[in-house]
Amino acid sequence: MPSTPLSVRHPFLKFWHGIRSRLLSLLVEGRHSKGNLSTLLIWIGLFALVTYAALITHRHYVSHLDLRWSSIYHDRNAHYQAALCIACELRQGHIGRALLDLDAASVAWPVLHPLLLGLILTVVGLIPEAAVLPSLCGWMLTAVLAFWLVRRLGGPSGSIGGLVTVGLILTSPALRVMATDVMLESLGLGLTLTAAVAYAAWVQHPTSKHACWLGASLSALFLHKYNYWGLVVFSLSIHEAIRNRKIVLQYTVQILNYIIDEKFLVRQSKSLVNYLILVLLILSLVIIYCNGISMTIFGHRIGIQRPRLLIQAAYILSLIRLGMWWSTRGRYTVEQQCGLPQRKLLEWATIPPLLWLALPFRLQFFVWYAGPGNDPGILHHTFWQKCHYYFDGIYNNYFIHHWIAIISCILSAIGMAHFILRNNNDLWKWIIPLLFIVSCILTLLHPNEQMRFVHTWFPLFWLMSGIGFATMMNGIIRTIPPFINTVLASAAVLLIIGGILAGMLEPPQVRPDFGRGYGNPSQSLRVVYNAYLSHLSGQEETAILCNLPEASWRWPFLERFGHKNGLRHNLREIGCFDPVSLADARRWLAATTSQIIVYVEIPPHSPLYEPPPQGRDNSAIKMALLEQDRFRQVHAITLPQLGTVSIWHR
């Protein structure tokens, strides 16, 4: 009987092989779906935990809301006031006036926070409970992105390590109080980690989509606060220069050769705009060197004390020249030399900041924030004294217990050792310790010293702690039987979650030197505000003045009455700036159109008193009020141990 060729299968074998292949495919798909399901459950649990933390932290803020408003000179007053101005105009349908308020609010600080908070207050209402939502969302975003980063770098136990990092973030007293404050730090931290995640995606897959994401995250950080953007961009530039040092060197040489090329120099020498830019810059240097200049033109004497407008004009002309080159030749040259993704990254990361700095006064404040001029003169520590100042503040405010700080340091050391010893393809991982180190050094070198300056970069330390815990768990799992792994991992997760929930039961407590408004002092300015707001109708022209110069008194009026029509809080009606003299106060009282004057006096023994920034107060206003007869006093309110309020009607 002839044998059957091997290439011809028996029908039963064909049937068996078909069934086996189907079973194997179903098994693989089942494992894959189980993996997707477990990942989905992890993220759902994380979002539930972070949302619960946000809700309970916000509840603690609401229960002690008045204490947050206990500082006259704190920046939160300016941020809240700016957003209230925008929201009041939008709620009344005054789009043009809202844009003017937005422009005024975004001179010193950029536009993102006042715009975002203004829109929130427009929709939700003019209430302080909603004023902290951007900060609260930034804190939640921080926890989620930190978990992703640690999970990505922590190996098999990355999720547990990520949960440790989330626990440190959610229980930190400093992060919790800043998450319920009208400040920029909490959202700045979230945007910083967004840029780090976007950079990780870009390094792994340098596509146009990831280029736009990274560029947009950097621009958003710039439009939120310049300092945070500078720390991230400087760190990313160092990381890229190390990672692609040959390519960076090659491009640098090409650019230098292009600049010193004779044809390029000839083209630039034929441009009249270049000569105008050069004249403006030379004139600016002369003004700086001579501390101002004056000249007579057609019989009129003109003096220029500061060159900021000349520098702004030179910048705008340079930007126009750059824009013309980019639209005609530059974008195509960059795309040809570097590729489409790199061109998109350059556009998304640079065009919004460059255009923003072309607006009036933005360039001046950008340079001021980054330079040595940003020195309030309050603290003048040496380098090592600064190290002690920040270390002491972090140790006592950023950890719920001191023993957690010690354990976090040990875990961070393990995480750093894991980075050094483990050789993998995740080259972007070094941006985490690099950003931490660069930010730490630049913060110590900056002349302005405030504890909240560490807020956007110190939590990177906790990412290393989470990676260190994951590394330790990976080592333990490899040495124990497989059936114990699940028990150990489950016990670790339950203990960490239990610790997080227990750590959030009580309201966060920070030390008094962390800043005013977090329980110190224990009295609130809202008591003073309510004392005079209850006697106002909000329909008449009102001036609210205080013995403390440049105090923030506009936002309580805006919050109560929903508008700022006829509201004044200084004597700039006659061109007088705080602190004022008796002659200025008399002149203003004779010229003002205000119908009601509210004068608040906070004496030095009051817990709400803060020394005036310039050393002199506005007590001359009270003296002028007592000696005049144009306004009469109708109410005199004494607030025990806090101050007095007097209300005057025309």
Least confident of 217-221, 255-259, 367-371, 504-508: 367-371
In the chain, the largest separation of any two C-alpha atoms, in whole Å, equals 133
Measured N-to-C along each axis, helices 272-290 and 308-325 cross at an angle, to the nearest 10 degrees, of 160
Contacts of 463 (CB under 8 A, 6+ apart): 146, 149, 150, 165, 415, 432
The pLDDT tens digits for 346-394 are 999 999 999 999 998 898 888 877 766 666 666 677 888 889 999 999 9
**The CA-based dihedral angle spanning residues 145, 148, 150, 156, taken in that order and rounded to the nearest 10 degrees:** 170
Contacts of 560 (CB under 8 A, 6+ apart): 533, 536, 538
Dist CA 166 CA 141 (whole Å)? 11
Whether the per-residue pLDDT at 15 is higher than 60: the answer is no
Q: Are residues 307 and 326 in contact, defined by beta-carbon separation less than 8 angstroms? A: no
Whether the per-residue pLDDT at 2 is higher than 50: the answer is no
Query: Residue 159: which of 44, 265, 307 has the closest Cα?
Result: 44
pLDDT band (50, 70, 90) for residue 249: confident
CB atoms within 10 A of CB 298: 5
Q: Looking at per-residue confidence, does 162 or 292 come out higher?
A: 162
Q: SS3 of 293, please?
A: strand
Q: What is the mean pLDDT of residues 624-640?
A: 91
pLDDT band (50, 70, 90) for residue 7: very low
Query: Residue 222: which of 232, 212, 208, 237 has the closest Cα?
Result: 232
The pLDDT tens digits for 69-127 are 888 888 999 999 999 999 999 999 999 999 999 999 998 899 999 999 999 999 999 99
Query: Residue 599: which of 552, 534, 644, 639 has the closest Cα?
Result: 644
Q: Looking at per-residue confidence, does 78 or 550 come out higher?
A: 78
Dist CA 296 CA 635 (whole Å)? 54
> Which tokens hold the place of 232?
């991230």
Q: Looking at per-residue confidence, does 573 or 178 come out higher?
A: 178
Which pLDDT does position 27 carry in this prediction? 38
Query: Residue 236: which of 371, 428, 416, 425 has the closest Cα?
Result: 428
Side-chain-side CA neighbours of 240 within 13 Å: the count stands at 17
Q: What is the mean pLDDT of residues 13-32?
A: 49
pLDDT band (50, 70, 90) for residue 35: low
Show the DSSP H helices in 107-184 as ranges: 112-124, 128-131, 133-153, 158-171, 173-179
Query: Residue 429: which of 394, 470, 489 has the closest Cα?
Result: 470
> Which tokens hold the place of 251?
């491009």
The pLDDT tens digits for 271-305 are 888 889 898 889 888 888 887 777 777 777 777 77
Q: SS3 of 379, please?
A: coil
- b vs e for 605-615, b when ≥16 Cβ sit within 10 Å of the residue's Cβ? ebebbbebeee
Contacts of 440 (CB under 8 A, 6+ apart): 457
Dist CA 190 CA 193 (whole Å)? 5
Which pLDDT does position 161 carry in this prediction? 94
pLDDT band (50, 70, 90) for residue 29: very low
Whether the per-residue pLDDT at 633 is higher than 50: the answer is yes
Q: What is the mean pLDDT of residues 62-73?
A: 89
Which pLDDT does position 21 carry in this prediction? 59
Which pLDDT does position 30 carry in this prediction? 45
Which pLDDT does position 371 carry in this prediction? 67
**pLDDT averaged over the chain?**
87
Show the DSSP H helices in 180-244 as ranges: 185-204, 208-222, 226-243
Q: Which amino acid is present at 106?
A: S
Q: Are residues 432 and 161 in contact, defined by beta-carbon separation less than 8 angstroms? A: no
Q: Are strands 596-601 and 542-546 parallel, antiparallel or unpaired?
A: parallel
Dist CA 143 CA 162 (whole Å)? 9
Sign of CA pseudo-dihedral 431, 432, 434, 438: positive
> In the chain, what are the domain boundaries?
45-206+378-505, 243-370, 525-649
Dist CA 65 CA 60 (whole Å)? 8
pTM (two decimals) = 0.89
SS (H, E, C) 138-159: HHHHHHHHHHHHHHHHCHHHHH
